Amino acid sequence: MKQFLAVFRFTYLEAVRKKSFRVTTILLLVVILAACLVPKLFGDTPSETDNAAYLPGEGETIYYLDETGAIPGGAETLKACGYAVEILQKADEADARARVADDGSAALVAVNGGERPTITVTVKNFMSGLSSGTVSTLLSGAWSAARLAEAGMDAAAIQSTLAPLACETKSAGALNPVGYTLGLVLSMVMFFAVFFYGYGVANSIATEKTSRVMETLIVSAKPTSILTGKCAAMGAVGLTQMGVLGAFGMLCAHFLIPQGVTIGGIPLTLEGLTALNGLYLVLFFLVGYAMYSMLGAVCGASVSRIEDVNVAMMPLSLLSMISFYLGYFTFIAGRTGGILEILARYLPFAAPFGMPARLLTGAATPAQAALSLAIMLVTLIALSAFSARLYAAGVMYYGKRLTLRDMLKMK
């Protein structure tokens, strides 16, 4: 145990003191801060969307021309929506058109009479001014109300008939846009974290072999203690960084994101991030990292020069990328069955990237996550014994890069 703790302490302190650790942490903190500022700057709060005094046309000017009175109450309808309406005569049309050409917040609305009136909306350009769809909706309602009144319908019945029907969208499943987006981000974060810290194990071992520090370590500690100590230390480094980022993110979310804020009408909620799911996320990271770090340690032990680490890591990089894409793209596609979906959920090397996102969106149940995690744990135990043998065989070898066949032949 003392050997394990000594290796753990040495590796952990060496990793957190590196400039790369500090720089990446600071950059990620800035990204989290920016992400939390987006809803505050561009989101809609209840006070803005639910306030009865809020008027959609406030601050916009409409030059209104309807000489024949084809739409009774048309100007009043526009005024009720907050538009500054200036009623024109035909002689003033050219002057109003010139003012619209200079003012992007103004529009000229001309009503042409007939059995069914037509409306012409003139704006400065297609990037500014009033939407013709908005004008059509408002004035069509006013015209319909006038026709119904002429037919003898009372005002209360007209208002009830023309009022828009309440409509909302619900999902049969637990998937929501926020959980879906968070699931995608989490898959990518999990991939980079598992691969980055697994690579850190390989790089640390190769560096110590190159500097001959490994010769000192191997005398004072068993190879298995070195292997487990290094893997555990890099995992602790990952948890430290993730813990700092998570705590900072929670603080930013609490103080910067307004309560009830929505973006595009979608409320920002984290319903899928329950305490149980949070525990599963940590476990999937730890076990997934442990599997990849064990293989990373073998890659680091197979080389004698730090320059050869990238070449030695290529098979592991390929495995991790295929596993990530399997979990990521089947999640995006929304698959609920088939062999690829089963592999994304339960294949040990793909599950760390595929299962957490499915948990957050309700596409996978806690029982399915437990089964996936159990398969990963069994794989980790077998992989640990296999990796320890290869690591012990190659850690004191100096020379050309060892292949897997070479390490299996060594005792």
In this prediction, residue 44 carries a pLDDT of: 58
In this prediction, residue 66 carries a pLDDT of: 93
Q: Is the pLDDT of residue 322 over 80?
A: yes
Of 38-47, 143-152, 318-327, minimum mean pLDDT range: 38-47
Mean of per-residue pLDDT scores for the chain: 79
Q: Kindly compute the dihedral angle of the four CA atoms of residues 77, 82, 87, 90, in this order, to the nearest 10 degrees.
A: -90
Q: Is the pLDDT of residue 262 over 90?
A: no
In this prediction, residue 398 carries a pLDDT of: 65
In this prediction, residue 214 carries a pLDDT of: 55
Per the model's pLDDT, the better-predicted residue between 119 and 387 turns out to be 119
Closest of 268, 272, 246 to residue 42, by C-alpha: 268
Q: In what order do the strands lie in the sheet with 118-122?
A: 84-87, 61-65, 106-112, 118-122
- pLDDT digit string (tens) for 128-168? 667 788 888 889 989 999 889 888 888 888 888 887 776 66
Rounded Cα–Cα distance for residues 227 and 290 (Å)? 11
In this prediction, residue 178 carries a pLDDT of: 63
In this prediction, residue 408 carries a pLDDT of: 65
- pLDDT digit string (tens) for 344-377? 889 999 998 888 888 887 788 889 999 999 999 9
HSE-CB for 221 with a 13 A CA cutoff: 22
In this prediction, residue 379 carries a pLDDT of: 92
Burial of 91 (0-12, 13-18, 19+ CB in 10 A): exposed
Reported as a pLDDT band with limits 50, 70 and 90, residue 271 is low
Q: What mean pLDDT do residues 318-333 have?
A: 86
DSSP code, position 44: B
Reported as a pLDDT band with limits 50, 70 and 90, residue 265 is low
Closest of 63, 118, 122, 132 to residue 91, by C-alpha: 63
Per the model's pLDDT, the better-predicted residue between 394 and 342 turns out to be 342
Q: Is the pLDDT of residue 56 over 60?
A: no
Helix axes 275-301, 351-361, angle to 10 degrees: 170
Q: What mean pLDDT do residues 31-38 have?
A: 82
Rounded Cα–Cα distance for residues 411 and 303 (Å)? 17
Which residues is 266 bridged to in the sheet?
A: 263
Q: What mean pLDDT do residues 242-264 have?
A: 75
Reported as a pLDDT band with limits 50, 70 and 90, residue 52 is very low
The residue type at 388: A
DSSP code, position 308: G
In this prediction, residue 37 carries a pLDDT of: 80
Say which residues have a Cβ less than 8 Å from residue 315's Cβ, sequence separation at least 6. Answer: 299
In this prediction, residue 410 carries a pLDDT of: 63
8 A C-beta contact, residue 360 and residue 273: yes
Reported as a pLDDT band with limits 50, 70 and 90, residue 54 is very low
Q: What mean pLDDT do residues 326-344 have?
A: 81
In this prediction, residue 53 carries a pLDDT of: 46
Per the model's pLDDT, the better-predicted residue between 191 and 260 turns out to be 191
Q: Is the pLDDT of residue 332 over 50?
A: yes
The residue type at 75: A
- pLDDT digit string (tens) for 164-201? 776 665 555 555 566 677 777 878 888 887 777 778 78
262 membership: H or E segment, kind and range: strand 262-263
HSE-CB for 363 with a 13 A CA cutoff: 25
**How many CB atoms sit inside 10 A of residue 377's CB?**
15
In this prediction, residue 370 carries a pLDDT of: 93
